[in-house]
Structure 1
Amino acid sequence: MKGLFYIGLMLLLLLAGCDKVDAGRGEDDGRVYPVSFTLAGFMETRADGDGENALKAGDTLMIAAYDPNPPRALVAAGQYKVNSSANGLELVSGQDSMYLPVGTYDFCAMTPKQTLTGNGNYGTVGQGVDALGSVTQAQMGATSTPVVLKDLDHLASQISFIVQVVPQKLDSVASFAVQTIEIGGMVASKENNYLLPDNLLEIPETGAADRFETLTIGGTDAFTTGDKGTGAGPGFINTQKTPLIVFPKAASTFNAVIEVKIKKAQAAALDTGSGTEGEEETINLNAKINRLAFEPGKRYKFEVNYGWDYVRFDITTADWTTVKDGSQVGDGEQTVSHEIKIGQWDDDINLDMTI
């Protein structure tokens, strides 16, 4: 009888030692151990909300653990949020701690939180969403293991426009305001476009016509519009207030149609000598840019300068400001310029350029 009691006691102890079992790779005789998470540099940069995209208290993240070996299967996942002090991560209420066997894992952190599909290898990010993510490979030990996650990177791209009049044209203009900018050849939203554990937004083939669409920047509050200025520099500067967040895309044709309303100051100052003072007209710049790609985590600034007898189109690309400290990173900005000569400000100006 004592022998049976001893065997039963040992079975109870073994079951207790197994703790909680989650999906795993079965290492270390099936035992699993709790893992906790924090973000690199979190203590130093999150508390004061540094950076325009700094995570704040209550922001929710999905953290998923994957086997790094093919087929890179999902092992476990959980929802976490930034704590009330904005200096660490904690489990969302109702969520259990993540438990894993001993082994090496790729830990994917992503925000906004995701509902994973396709055996855990896909998520969905909508148009205009500043999705952030990172992948950290770490070793799970035979004990409670803290994992410091890499800082989150921007997965999308962002674009913005500045449209202005160069000094020598200012005397001919009473007002100059961008109405809309239509940009074609942009990647459209799609279910399951977030690839895991690669931590990348899907970039479709250029021949997949159903995967592209035209986006519009416009409305009464889209641009800040400056006045004529002093004449020492550009005037009537139209600056896009908020950058447009777009999906990355492969090198392909990018079309921008910029519609501007111009009010003439006086007919005598115009090249054509036509029109009357105070007359308002609409002109369109149709810019076709060949082989332009949008890379993840990059920002693209388009500057359009309307001159006396030309239009200059500048494209500047640089790294996005990071979530870590709000500063610019990388090798700095890179600009490509293209200029087209015009006889006058026609209703339609066509620009064809290759990047």
Structure 2
Amino acid sequence: MNCKGMIKYLSVALLLCSCTENELQLREREQQFVIRFSTANVCTEVVTRTASPLTGGTMLRILAFRRIGESPDLSMDRYMGEGTYRAINGSGVLEPVSSLLLRTGTYDFYALTPDLAVANVDHEGDGAKCAVAVEHGMDYATSLTAGQTVSEASPTVVLNDLGRHCTKLIFELMPKAGNIRSVDIASAGLTNMTRAPVSAILNTALPIMGVSKSEELTIEGSEFSVPDDDLNTSAFAVVLPREAGKFKFKMNVAFNERELAEFVADMPETLAFTAGTQYTFTLKMKGGSVELILTVLPWNDSVMQEQDDIGAFAPTPILIHVGTWEDVEIPGNTGAGNTTVGVGKWVANPEVDAEIGAFGLTEVGGEGVPWTSEENVPGETGGSKTDPDPDAV
């Protein structure tokens, strides 16, 4: 066969190979189908809590992995793709923003909200595989729905409930007293908060052990709710969990349109902030004194809940009297007179560390916290129980 003939047959062969390759690629693309997800809920790690549907508009990122070993292992498993989804009307239904496409097979599905970028999913980059960076202000929650088989005839996956990895703080003022006619909070917050961001492997606890506590949380007055008929007002913030250690409480407030008064106090060094938990700091006025009450509960509302829903507490709260500002003087709202509020003297509750320890509030993991209704909880003032099991030896 001459060269011209060989070139002719070679061209035909290349054309056939090209067609075959294109057909294979087309068939592979045709084998992919859209994965659908439903019933996205969020809950705390506490087994007694029921899950809540995600608030409408909440964004999720969902990643699919094919397992290499017998159990899910992001350090080894093969990344197959991801998509982003939006929760609809608080119903738990998810609509695709960018759909996840897969072929028939069995996968492990990881979901996270907000829809943060997940780094190094395919082992090609530096650093830990499947890491996320979490900041203060993020209601970060994740779930793993493992071993799900999907096909074009059965493309729907029901996600497991997402577990929260951050903490909710609520600041509340309850000023009802005889001579209080108006309140105006300028700011509130805490010092010595966990330094952000914190990097974590997807669907694992945030590794805050040993992280410095060098940031300050400040909630501006504009974020507080409009005072109700009793002049109660509150605001909240989402923060990273925090190890026990020194920190201060601060609230700046004007009463009766007078000068700002700053209530500042050292908080118990034994108190830690646990993931999936909400802590409410309440300034409660009682005549010539102002009490600071700490209420601790599972975080009991849905992701990205609006401020109108704060304060909707679950049963069996832990109530701890942190201390009292004594001899507080607040001028009335009539006449010239004195315009300065006297905040008096801060007196810490001498039993506060014992109460915090009795309820397991010293550990970031929150082990042993008595959330069930059968447990006793402490009251706000003297005479209440501080031991969750007084009959224990």
Using the alignment, how far apart are the partners of 1:184 and 1:89 within structure 2?
Answer: 38
- Between Structure 1 and Structure 2, which shows a larger proportion of strand residues? 1
> Secondary structure at 1:249's aligned position in 2?
coil
Which runs of structure 2 are paired with 1:1-355 in the superposition (5 Å)?
19=28, 36-40=35-39, 53-56=54-57, 60-66=59-65, 67=67, 68-69=72-73, 71-82=75-86, 88-93=93-98, 97-99=101-103, 102-103=105-106, 105-119=107-121, 120-140=129-149, 145-165=155-175, 167=177, 170-171=178-179, 173=180, 175-190=182-197, 193-198=199-204, 200=205, 202-206=206-210, 208-209=211-212, 212-225=214-227, 237-240=231-234, 242-263=235-256, 280=259, 282-323=261-302, 332-340=316-324, 342-345=326-329, 346-347=342-343, 349-352=345-348, 353-354=352-353, 355=356
Q: For residue 183 of structure 1, report the CA deviation from its aligned partner.
A: 0.7
- 1:218 is displaced (CA, Å) by 2.1
> In structure 1, the residue corresponding to 2:193 is in which secondary structure?
strand
Q: Are residues 177 and 107 of structure 1, via their aligned partners in 2, closer, same or farther at CA, if it must alter by over 3 Å?
A: same
* Compared CA separation, residues 203 and 350, structure 1 to 2 (3 A): farther
SS of the aligned residue for 1:19 comes to helix
- Identical positions, percent: 19
- CA-CA distance at 1:117 after TM superposition: 0.9
Shift of 1:149: 0.6
Compute the displacement of 1:122 (Å).
1.0
Give the count of matched residue pairs.
293
How far 1:339 moved relative to its partner?
3.5
Structure 2 residue identity aligned to 1:63? I
Q: How far is the alpha carbon of 1:136 from its aligned partner?
A: 1.4
SS at match of 2:226: strand
CA contact (8 A) 1:174 1:262 kept: yes
Residue type at the aligned position of 2:267 = K
* AA matched with 2:162: L
Q: Write out per-residue CA displacement over residues 48-104 of structure 1, whole angstroms, 9 at most, x where no aligned residue.
A: xxx795234xx54211134304735352231132488977445445x560336x45x
Q: Provide the secondary structure at the position in 2 that maps to 1:117.
A: coil
Relative to structure 1, the CA distance from residue 348 to residue 217 in structure 2 (aligned partners, 3 Å threshold; closer, same or farther) is farther
The answer to whether the Cα contact below 8 Å between 2:328 and 2:343 also exists between their aligned partners in 1 is no
CA contact (8 A) 2:184 2:253 kept: yes
What are structure 2's unaligned runs of at least 5 residues? Answer: 1-16, 42-51, 122-128, 330-341, 357-393
Amino acid at match of 2:214: F
Structure 2 distance, partners of 1:77, 1:176, is 53
CA drift of 1:180 comes to 1.8
- Provide structure 1 residue ranges, at least 5 long, that are not aligned to the other structure: 1-7, 22-31, 43-50, 228-234, 264-277
Return the alpha-carbon distance in structure 1 between the equivalents of residues 241 and 172 of structure 2. Answer: 21
Q: Normalising by structure 2, report the TM-score.
A: 0.60
The amino acid that maps onto 1:160 is I
1:347 shift after superposition: 4.2
1:295 offset after TM fit, Å? 2.0
Q: Distance in 1 between matches of 2:239 and 2:120?
A: 24
